[in-house]
Amino acid sequence: MARDFLKSLRRRSRASFRTDQKSTTDDSSETGSHSQGTGPASGFTTPASISHQSDPALNLQLKEHSEPRQQYDQPQQPQIRPPLPPIPNAYRHSVSGMSGLGAPPDTPPGGASSLRRQSRLPVSQYAPRIRNAHDGMVVYQKVLLLNGVIGDNPHYDIDGTVTVTKTTDDFPPITWPVYSSRFKALVYLRPGHNALRFDFSSPKVANSGSSNPIHTSYILIHMIPPLGNPPLQLAILLGKDSPGLYDAPPARVEREGHGLDMAIKKFRMAAYLWQAFTSEQMMRHKLGRRTFRFDEEWTTGTANLRDQEEGTMRSEAKIHIIRSEKTVAEIRDLNYAQQNSAATKKNALFDIAAAAVRQHFHISRGQPQYVTVLILDAHWDTTHKMITGHAALGSGHGDLKLSIFGSHCLHSYPASFEEIVPAFTDCTPTDTNYVANDSNEAGSSWEAANIGIGAHLHEVGHLFGCPHQESGIMLRDYVVFNRTFVAREAYSMRTKSKGGLCEQSDECDWHRLDALRFRAHPAFRLVNEPQYPNDSVQAYPTETAGTALVVAASGISFVEIFSEGDDVCHTWLEVIREAPGARSPKHLHLSAEDLVNRLPPHKRTKSIKVSVKSCAGASLDIEDFKQFASKQSLVELKGGRYASRGANVGRSRGGDACEVVLSSAAGANRVLSRVVVFHGAAVDGLKFIYDDASSQLFGKIGGKAGGDAFELDVRRGEVIAGFHVRAGAWIDGIQIITSLGRKSPMFGNPLGGELCRMIAPPKYHVCGVSGSCSRWLDTFAILVKQ
């Protein structure tokens, strides 16, 4: 037995110590691959790793002989390599690829997770650092604005270029300039994950011009299109006889043309800039990367020059082409009428655009559409020195949310990514023999691009419900719109000043109040957020002098405070700031004293107006809050108790005041059994009928003969809990809501005005109605008591 064992040991040892000729000449042999850099040199007869990989038979002397004999002949398992020690910070600037082995591959095996591992590789000290995005970030728009620096050393001051390459699709690389180590770039995203590579190159930096990228960084961006949100529709409006041309200087016409195809490319790129700008601004306001989306169509790509040359098809923002029933001459003549005739002509061009848009989109009541229009036939009249066929207007009211703007600056817009920086740095003087110098603020080509793109975005802000503000896009800060997209500003004809570095603090922005409005707007909803139903804000004075209770089912977002004489809001109260898991309160007590103390001292003695905004975008304006929160808004009941008169809906036109305190709620021994609503195309009045056949009339009798009755289930104690009211200039329709959750039909015009939900707040119940009446009900409010 012992002899057999020793023979076996001798055979195994002889085989193990036999020298493999290949191992003496090839450093990449299997033996060397597990040696951690201690592979055999030529002429060695014993591998250097023998202490780790010696014949397993040598261990048999230490094992129990009860092990099965056949296991000894199993193939040996490779030794597991121990982990490498961590690399100290002193080596963080080592460069992947400088040894000639090359940079990491563009598309690493394993997809997104491999890219994250790759992005943690040691990088060059000149590798681009993205400051406003992180690896794995989720965004919601096609075009994303990125800004960054070269390296992380604040003392670097170097110029060059950054080339952005998408490694996950065929979008061509785009190069962006670097100035004083700063750069700004736009990237074109598709749904899903987008792997991006950033390569820095400069003649002042070694190895940056080689075919092997060295100063490189990577980032992964996920894009989820918010397809559940209503889109912003883009439309170009032409006269019925328009040739489809826009104003442009001769040199521009010769270089790129000025027809409808080029107008589509330029307008689409301007819309992408709006989208990217808004997303970046919302992120800076810490409200998420919210922005509006566009309807898209499968068409020839226009975002880069290669797609345009090769006819590559992509999903791009759709531009609707709409022909008006008016001729070009009729459209242009309206400007003379607007400036030289009665005020009734002021909105004539807006009305023409609205009619054409309604017909094109077949807009129905109750189905809002958001449409912005570029009027292609705008023209610089050199004789009268005015822009005809142009109006800068926007409105967020009604079912059609519309904004319009002329094409007189379109010649200066970029038509692709490659043209963005040249367009925003082109100092070519504006030749007023051919094109307009709008408001004398477009003296050069890049400043004309600012006015055209930025002022049109201002009107889009109106479309989304934004009023004028004390600063930002909704003032006139769009004259520096270019600074968001370039690292260095060119010479300005407007200010007669030399350009320089464009820091974030120098850029224009959306005002904080605009951003708060966008957070509540359905077009800006994030994909993981709930969709709020129809909502409204209600307010009720309390028995505590100077205070009022405001209520919104979706929550209170913020409160604007206006002092007498203020044309824009300077002071506001944010009920809650954006935070993970945070919720806005549905009920909020406002104190006149607290609101006044938020104003500057010289405004505190004046009357104040408040505008309360809900998280669903609803709004309630209280013109004189001090008066509203006083005892004048309380109704005295029997027994020394009081009822609160809520805020009115509708518009008072000097009609007679009317008010009814329900007998059933005022202590009388009666039960409300029926409500009769008198109505036609609007609501004329309500008649409350009790179980003893007595009644109370609110408003007047009119419309449909006999009105329509709604019965209450008195046996189950059913009472009125509130109303749904459709109101605009008057009360269009009304629906009764009961304590059992039942609803009456909508009496009156079911599609008129805006829907308002008037429900008694918690611990209160409805005890009457209030308002005013002329030919029919002009205003309506409810009375509530505890």
Structure-derived torsion over alpha carbons of residues 471, 346, 451, 518, reported in degrees to the nearest 10: 50
Alpha-carbon distance 649 to 780, whole Å? 6
Alpha-carbon distance 595 to 572, whole Å? 9
Please name the residues in contact with 248: beta carbons below 8 A apart, sequence gap of 6 or more. Answer: 258, 410, 411, 434, 435
Distances (CA, A) of 99 to 85, 91, 275: 21, 15, 43
Structure token pair of residue 261: 């195809």
Q: Letter for the amino acid at 572?
A: W
Kindly tell me the number of DSSP H helices and DSSP E strands found in the chain: 15, 38
Structure token pair of residue 190: 């598709």
Alpha-carbon distance 45 to 669, whole Å? 115
Beta bridge partners of 674: 689, 711
Is 64 catalytic? The answer is no
Structure token pair of residue 83: 């982990």
- Catalytic annotation, pick one of 459, 507, 560, 718: 459
Alpha-carbon distance 245 to 288, whole Å? 40
Q: Give the residue from 254, 124, 121 showing the smallest Cα distance to 201.
A: 124
| Helix H or strand E encompassing 386 | strand 386-388
Please state whether beta strands 232-238 and 369-375 pair in parallel, antiparallel, or not at all (unpaired): parallel
Asked if residues 278 and 293 have their Cβ atoms less than 8 Å apart, the reply is no
Instruction: Say if residue 367 is exposed, middle or buried (CB neighbours under 10 Å; 0-12, 13-18, 19+).
Output: exposed
Alpha-carbon distance 56 to 63, whole Å? 11
Three-state secondary structure readout of 301-356:
CCCCHHHHHHCCEEEEECEEEEECCCCHHHHHHHHHHHHHCCHHHCCHHHHHHHHH
Asked if residues 185 and 176 have their Cβ atoms less than 8 Å apart, the reply is yes
DSSP string, 695-709: EEEEE---SSTT-EE
Asked if residues 319 and 300 have their Cβ atoms less than 8 Å apart, the reply is no
Alpha-carbon distance 98 to 602, whole Å? 67
Phi and psi, residue 627, nearest 5°? -70, -40
Alpha-carbon distance 180 to 158, whole Å? 5
Structure token pair of residue 754: 């805006």
Asked if residues 704 and 678 have their Cβ atoms less than 8 Å apart, the reply is yes
User: Cα–Cα–Cα angle for 128, 129, 135, nearest 5°?
Assistant: 115
Distances (CA, A) of 566 to 182, 468, 591: 40, 12, 20
Q: Give the residue from 105, 112, 104 showing the smallest Cα distance to 222.
A: 112
Alpha-carbon distance 348 to 330, whole Å? 11
Asked if residues 687 and 698 have their Cβ atoms less than 8 Å apart, the reply is yes
Structure token pair of residue 114: 């491999």
Alpha-carbon distance 303 to 78, whole Å? 53
Residue 628: how many other CB atoms lie within 10 Å: 21
Catalytic residues: 459
